Amino acid sequence: MPLKMLLLGVAGVMAARSGDMSPPALEPMVASNSGHLALKPAPIEPSWIISGTPHARLADHSRSADEASSTAVWDCTAGEFRWYFGWDETVVIQEGEVHVTAEDGSERWLRAGDIAYFRGGTWATWRIDTYVRKIAFLRKPFPAPLAVVYRLRNALRPRAKGGFAA
């Protein structure tokens, strides 16, 4: 019941702001070749740079209607820097490689074809010897109280056999 009240309250605020409860018109599919997206400068926070002069670029690909997830292409030249993952992020390395050291000290080389997940709210050190290009899938984590309700709901649901379930 409290969750329903929270959701109704949010819906009410949104309705009052826009006067229209219908979702924005969105394309049912967004598709493009990642090599054809226009990358724009996306400077790394200078205080995060450990060595070198890494130059990063970014191209947004898509964003969900609720702005809780997005997909982008990112590349960077040689350098070493710390990176803060404000959102949960799954990356697929398309080209080059990067040496990553996580907060817990674990280390991993990520090369073309590798997939990695970085939990939101964590730091990692990235060392790029020449160049790296990745596709990034970002998801804004649920607020803690809502995450608990969501996990509880999942624990009570019957499990689907094979693959992911909605």
How far is residue 26 from each of residues 38, 67, 69, 141, 166, measured CA to CA in Å? 21, 12, 14, 22, 21
Is 72 among the domain residues? yes
Q: Give yes or no for a contact between 84 and 78, defined as CB atoms under 8 angstroms apart.
A: no
pLDDT in tens, 55-75: 999 999 888 778 788 999 999
pTM for this entry: 0.72
Average pLDDT of the residues of the chain: 83
**Average pLDDT rounded to a whole number, residues 96-121:** 97
Is 29 among the domain residues? no
- What is the predicted pLDDT for the residue at 159? 74
Is 51 among the domain residues? yes
**Average pLDDT rounded to a whole number, residues 109-121:** 97
Paired with 115 in beta bridges are 92
- What is the predicted pLDDT for the residue at 7? 45
Q: What is the CATH number of the domain that holds 82?
A: 2.60.120.10
Range of the domain at 47: 37-150
Q: Give yes or no for a contact between 69 and 140, defined as CB atoms under 8 angstroms apart.
A: yes
- What is the predicted pLDDT for the residue at 12? 47
Higher pLDDT, 2 or 47: 47
Is 21 among the domain residues? no
